[in-house]
Structure 1
Amino acid sequence: MPHVFEYAVLRAVPRQDRGEFMNVGVLLYCAPQDFLRCKTQVIDDRLRALDPEIDLDLLHDSLRLWCGACDGSTTAQVKTTSLGQRFRWLTAPRSTLLQTSPTHTGFTEDPAGELDRLWQALVL
């Protein structure tokens, strides 16, 4: 039986003033399945084309922290919140190097497979 899921695309935004971004990952939350995960891939050279001075170490560290918040591998206090609260916190609007798209919804029987499908379609 299909379950409702929500997802958002992770975007690297090297320079806020230019509004350019590159998709670097996907967050997917499926409450009925207690599923919250992210999948990422950064192509450093493409981001340097947008901004040669981008702090790629900061971006990679931020992505590791976000994915850790999703799968619970982080030691940060966010680990004590519910998966829904974490998803809402991660997808809240912000003006930083790492941002999310608006959230979208769908139906799936396989959240992990859906995450992989979205990652391939929207990031790769």
Structure 2
Amino acid sequence: MTIPRPGGAAHRLAYEYVVLRCVPRVDREEFLNVGVVLHCRMADFLDVAWQVDRERLLALDPRIDVDQVCESLAFVEAVCAGHPTAGAPAAEPLTQRFGFLKAPRSTVLQPGPVHGGVTTDPGRQLERLLEQLVG
């Protein structure tokens, strides 16, 4: 979704993102990056991309419920998409949904700090961040 501007050049759009971390054992302070949530207000864009490496998570804690981690990430997807199954947060405007997702609320799935950048294509930038930071 590149946004053109007069003269054919693409607009550079500011965005914010958080990396979602799975922290199987908070006491050990070990985590594995499992997803990225990207919000670009100027493009009316909010989405998540995620991938869970089951073996790496189980190496951190063999007792972790990997399916539950995936369900939590699916909930994040539903909030981003504004799907009714995500409840009240999904009904909010995109900026408020991003605020909800960047706030810590779980000990196992935690957002990292908010970072920012500029892009001409928020969807492609999300893919790049997933590749760099998770995959």
User: Secondary structure of the residue that 1:17 maps to in structure 2?
Assistant: helix
> In structure 2, how many angstroms separate the alpha carbons of the residues matched to 1:78 and 1:89?
7
Consecutive aligned runs of 4 or more in structure 1 exceeding 2 Å deviation: none
> In structure 2, how many angstroms separate the alpha carbons of the residues matched to 1:120 and 1:80?
29
Worse overlay, 74-83 or 31-40:
74-83
Q: What does 1:79-90 correspond to in 2, within 5 Å?
A: 79-90=90-101
Contact 2:22 2:32 (8 Å CA) reproduced:
yes
Q: Find 1:21's aligned residue among 31, 42, 53.
A: 31
Q: Give the TM-score taking structure 1 as reference length.
A: 0.96
Q: What does 1:1-124 correspond to in 2, within 5 Å?
A: 1-75=11-85, 76-124=87-135
User: Secondary structure of the residue that 1:14 maps to in structure 2?
Assistant: coil
Residue ranges of structure 1 left out of the alignment (5+ in a row):
none
Give the length in aligned residue pairs: 124
* Larger Rg, first or second structure (1 or 2): 2
Residue ranges of structure 2 left out of the alignment (5+ in a row):
1-10
Letter in 2 for 1:28: L
Cα deviations across residues 31-81 of structure 1 (Å, max 9, x unaligned)?
A: 011100000000111100000000112101100001110122342121210
Contact 2:84 2:91 (8 Å CA) reproduced:
no
Identity %: 48
